[in-house]
Amino acid sequence: MTEPNQTNSDGANRPIQIIPSVLPADWANMGSCVKELEEAGVDRIQFDVMDGNFVPNLTFGPEMIAACRKYCNVPFETQLMVSQYNCETMLESYVKATKGANGEPGGSLLTKFPYRMLVGGHKRFYRPISLQSWS
């Protein structure tokens, strides 16, 4: 469903993509929800992961995300709003959970200290992990 390139405020052409979050979905029927999103033509599906520490809510574990993979082929990404400890210990599980049918990982990372993730050897996840810093 990627739209034709649009010019952003810097004058660069960038494709517009539809990437909905499944946070408001019916969690008891998450497989059907991701399938419906794929059928609607989304470009990717985002899972907003919260650990109850970094932010007060508690949401998806890597097992839930991986279980959704059998219902659709659209790429997944994760927005990890988790404590530094959980980020460092669980990043690999989330990267594996977001792998697509072609084995290509997807994902986003939100962490308070992104440099630790790079220095800590997480460079091996090479693709598309974006590091953002929240102070």
pLDDT tens sequence across 112-129 = 555 555 555 554 444 444
Q: Is the dihedral of CA 82, 87, 15, 8 positive or negative?
A: positive
3-state secondary structure of 29: helix
- As to burial, measured by CB atoms within 10 angstroms (0-12 exposed, 13-18 middle, 19+ buried), residue 131 is middle
Higher pLDDT, 14 or 68: 68
Domains, the chain, in order of start with CATH, read: 17-133 (3.20.20.70)
Positions of E strands within the chain: 3-7, 13-16, 45-50, 76-81, 108-111, 131-133
Confidence of residue 42 (pLDDT cuts 50, 70, 90): very high
Q: What is the mean pLDDT of residues 89-114?
A: 68
Confidence of residue 90 (pLDDT cuts 50, 70, 90): confident
Percentage of the chain lying above the pLDDT 90 cut: 30
Confidence of residue 3 (pLDDT cuts 50, 70, 90): low
Nearest to 108 by CA among 89, 72, 81, 71: 81
